[in-house]
Amino acid sequence: MALTINEDKCARCGVCEPECPNEAVFQTEDAYVIDSSLCTECKERYGEPLCESVCPNNSIEKIKDTLYKKCLSIFS
Ligand code: SF4
Ligand code: SF4
pLDDT tens per residue across all 76 residues of the chain: 789 999 999 999 999 999 999 999 999 998 999 999 999 999 888 889 999 999 999 999 988 877 777 788 888 7
The pocket around ligand 2, CB under 6 angstroms, is made up of 5, 10-16, 32, 55, 57, 59-60
Phi then psi dihedrals of residue 25, to 5 deg = -95, 130
Contact call for residues 13 and 56 (beta carbons, < 8 A): yes
CATH code, domain carrying 54: 3.30.70.20
Alpha carbons within 13 A on the beta-carbon side of 23: 0
Query: Cβ-count burial of 24 within 10 angstroms (0-12 exposed, 13-18 middle, 19+ buried)?
Result: buried
> For residue 50, what are the domain limits?
3-75
In contact, 28 and 5? CB cutoff 8 Å: no
What's 45's DSSP letter?
T
Nearest CA to ligand 1 atom 8: 20
* pTM of this prediction exceeds 0.75: yes
Number of domains in the chain: 1
